């Protein structure tokens, strides 16, 4: 039996989840998630933490506020989506067979950290 449940995650993120059998863990299922689709809640939370570490900023850099993660009012959130799409495309083209190990970004070999290395502004080539 499938039913929708609203769950407040530890990070303050409000997400609609679909209750599923133990073989299929709770998946992030909300129209506000546009590019990180098909992830379980723990995978999604872990990916958000990868972004924080890779770019060296907190959640407020892309999100309007802790109570409003769904808002697209911050232009940095839209830029982040574009960058995630670029990263996904690079990984698909050049590292299609790569499988991330536990704790690694599910985006693939190329991640935000590849260019940003803990800084908002991407590093330039020497």
83-108 confidence digits (pLDDT tens): 999 999 999 999 999 998 988 998 89
Is 1 contained in some domain?
no
Tell whether the model's pLDDT for residue 12 goes beyond 90: no
Is 6 contained in some domain?
no
Is 108 contained in some domain?
yes
* Number of other CB atoms surrounding residue 10 within 10 Å: 6
Give strand ranges (E) for 1-121.
4-8, 14-18, 27-28
Is 51 contained in some domain?
yes
Q: Is the pTM of this model over 0.85?
A: no
Is 123 contained in some domain?
no
Tell whether the model's pLDDT for residue 4 goes beyond 70: no
Residue 38 belongs to domain spanning: 31-116
Residue 24 — pLDDT band, cuts 50, 70, 90?
A: low
Is 16 contained in some domain?
no
């Amino acid at each position: 039996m499938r039913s929708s449940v609203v769950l407040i995650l530890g990070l303050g993120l409000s997400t609609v989840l679909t209750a599923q059998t133990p073989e299929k863990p709770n998946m992030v299922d909300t129209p506000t998630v546009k590019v990180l689709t098909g992830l379980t809640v723990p995978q999604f939370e872990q990916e958000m933490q990868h972004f924080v570490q890779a770019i060296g900023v907190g959640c407020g850099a892309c999100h309007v506020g802790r109570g409003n993660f769904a808002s697209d009012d911050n232009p940095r959130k839209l830029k982040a989506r574009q960058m995630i799409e670029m990263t996904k495309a690079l990984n698909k083209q050049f590292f299609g067979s790569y499988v991330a190990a536990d704790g690694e970004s599910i985006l693939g070999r190329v991640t935000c950290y590849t260019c940003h290395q803990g800084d908002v502004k991407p590093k330039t080539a020497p």
